[in-house]
Structure 1
């Protein structure tokens, strides 16, 4: 059985490991990616403010992925979909859509737009983002922390 829940402190290590494992599998273990985020193994603390949230995806009691939404840069109007990762062996089951639904609902409630930084090589992820109305940008928004990313998307809420 699959369920979504809000992040708990006990999730810090496993979520950090999932992010790193997924990036390694895609050949993206490099500076300028989430792999080296300073708070990667302390996500619970980062997501405790009202303008951010992180959801954990569990299958039969085991954490298999997650997604966060938080502020981007210095603007209060733009949020960012952060750390949408699912273990490779669990992909293709519609779980990313479950995570995106939560992230989009939260984003619409708290921000005027949502931003995503990713890689062109992650084609399945990019297809998913575009299904949710994200449009590709020609350059990153000011304030990016992930300088290695080569694809940037934005979804404005009307």
Structure 2
């Protein structure tokens, strides 16, 4: 088995969109207020660019897209970034890809000068919450002001 992480390019857009929608549905993250419904999902490579200090990484298992994760400014001009859209197909979980993808994003965020990283997720994504805790994210009692994902029920922050 070969595992590889690469930056998103346009040819990955349709498959990444499928993965995000499929995994979102699996965990009930469907509709307004959830990440899979964000407009950027339609064309991830156009949204995640160095121009806007963001990056999306794609996980490949034996050359096939099995997930991804991104990082972008929480709001334009902020020193806080957001870890975004970590989604892995069921067969790609437990292989260390979530941690590797997250670390790629956090390293990129540090290179871009961000001082902290925010994320929001769902409490039923228990493996993801444990991963984030292991990476040093701390739970918040409420979302950061300005979050788009008002249906999420777990909010976390990590100093970079």
TM-score calculated relative to the size of structure 2:
0.94
**Which segment drifts farther, 144-153 or 20-29?**
20-29
CA shift at 1:73, angstroms? 2.1
The SS at the match of 2:70 is strand
5 Å matches for 1:2-151? 2-50=3-51, 51-110=53-112, 111-151=114-154
CA shift at 1:92, angstroms? 1.1
8 Å contact kept, 2:116–2:159: yes
CA shift at 1:30, angstroms? 2.7
The alignment of Structure 1 onto Structure 2 pairs a total of residues equal to: 157
Deviations 1:20-73 (A, max 9, x none): 100111122132001211121101000123411111111111100111010002
CA shift at 1:16, angstroms? 0.9
Deviations 1:113-144 (A, max 9, x none): 00001011111100100111100001111111
8 Å contact kept, 1:74–1:143: no
CA RMSD, Structure 1 to Structure 2 (Å): 1.1
The SS at the match of 1:45 is helix
Runs of 5+ consecutive residues of structure 1 not aligned to the other structure: none
Runs of 5+ consecutive residues of structure 2 not aligned to the other structure: none
The SS at the match of 1:103 is helix
TM-score calculated relative to the size of structure 1:
0.95
Question: Which runs of 4 or more aligned residues in structure 1 lie more than 4 Å from their structure 2 counterparts after TM superposition?
Answer: none
The SS at the match of 1:42 is helix
